[in-house]
Amino acid sequence: MHQIARARNRLLNLFLFSLLSLLVLLSIPRISLIADDARNEFAATPEPAQTGPADGDQGSSQGKEHPEMGIKDLPRLILRDEKFLWIRPFQLKQADLPWAGVIVGSTAGLIATDRHAVGKILEHPPGNGFAFAHRVGQVGGPLTDAGVSGGFYLVGLWRRDDRARTTGLLGWEALADSLIITQVLKVATQRPRPSTDNGRLPNHDGDGEFFSGGSSFPSGHAAGAFALAAVTSQQYRDHPWVPPLAYGLAGLVSVSRVSERQHFPSDIFVGGVIGYLVGRHVCHEAERKPTDRARHWHALPYVPPSGGGAVRFTLDF
């Protein structure tokens, strides 16, 4: 028993160490970038008359890589995201149908087997696996996700690292988006959790049924973990080890919620899909140029048949 407890504590410490290592390692600038900056600083000999434009060009180039955004912009961006994310499922294109079919089919299959899968777990009393999953679920909750994003933001301010600062802001944005979506779906679906008494007693009031009063579907832990993992992986995609580590930690947090008897497998799957899609959308919008956001509007001169002149406005969806 002592060996099992010791192994469980080691795994939890490894989990915490991985989170902290990810934050620290990603905040350290690469040596090649430092060397390039130093070489450019000593090699550049700008004329006094060109000092202003040169500084402006440098700022614009940095803005393209890491868009200028601040905490005050988050409410506006979150409202923009929510408007798009709720409408987008009703505007599926032909290229979206295969992925939508896989998601819907997988969700339906998991819902059909949820009761049987969780029933096998509930047949046994809580043990060491339950205790470990419970601690992982506590560590990997929404508050921790927000704290990790805050760590990126503060490190970015401290080291003047635009990428780390932007990662923190995008992480907060994605977490807020995913939290709003999951909370609305929880209220709409009303699915009871598979257990009561903090995961220690089976809950037979719903047995996985929807609209029976509950907040199990989808998993907010999975949505938040995968939203942050998607943002981190996209922002640091030039580091090959970041996506496996980020998504691995998100998967560990998500699976622990099933072992902790707080969610059904379909809750975890749908929550993870929501978080991943939200995180990817947030990063995609941040990387778009301002001209790309406005290019849907077109104003063209138009000559009516009756003569005269006019301007025709069109909007491409």
Kindly report, residue by residue over 59-80, the tens digit of the pLDDT.
333 334 555 788 999 999 999 9
CA distance 205 to 213: 9
Residue 164, pLDDT > 60, answer yes
* 3-class SS of residue 215: coil
Residue 190, pLDDT > 50, answer yes
Residue 105 to residues 32, 80, 92, 98, Cα–Cα distance (Å): 46, 29, 16, 10
Tokens found for residue 223: 């949505």
Q: What is the pLDDT of residue 68?
A: 72
The fold for domain 106-289 equals Vanadium-containing Chloroperoxidase; domain 1 (1.20.144)
Contacts of 113 (CB under 8 A, 6+ apart): 265
Mean pLDDT of the chain: 79
CA distance 259 to 150: 29
Tokens found for residue 126: 């809580």
Kindly report, residue by residue over 9-22, the tens digit of the pLDDT.
555 544 544 554 44
Q: What is the pLDDT of residue 139?
A: 87
Task: Using alpha carbons, select from 132, 224, 123 the residue that is nearest to residue 171.
Answer: 224
Of the two residues 49 and 231, the one the predictor is more confident about is 231
Q: How far apart are the first and last CA of the chain?
A: 61
What is the domain partition of the chain in residue ranges? 106-289
Q: E strands of 199-286, at which residues?
A: 201-202
Q: What is the pLDDT of residue 125?
A: 75
Q: What is the pLDDT of residue 88?
A: 92
Task: Using alpha carbons, select from 225, 217, 214, 215 the residue that is nearest to residue 255.
Answer: 225
Of the two residues 4 and 118, the one the predictor is more confident about is 118
Residue 109, pLDDT > 70, answer yes
Which has the minimum average pLDDT: 132-146, 193-207, 276-290?
Answer: 193-207
CA distance 183 to 126: 28
The confidence band for 58, taking pLDDT boundaries of 50, 70 and 90, is very low
Residue 27, pLDDT > 90, answer no
Of the two residues 313 and 120, the one the predictor is more confident about is 120
The stretch 133-150 carries a mean pLDDT of 91
In contact, 148 and 20? CB cutoff 8 Å: no
Q: pTM, whole model, 2 decimals?
A: 0.73
Q: Which residue has the tokens 């990387």?
A: 287
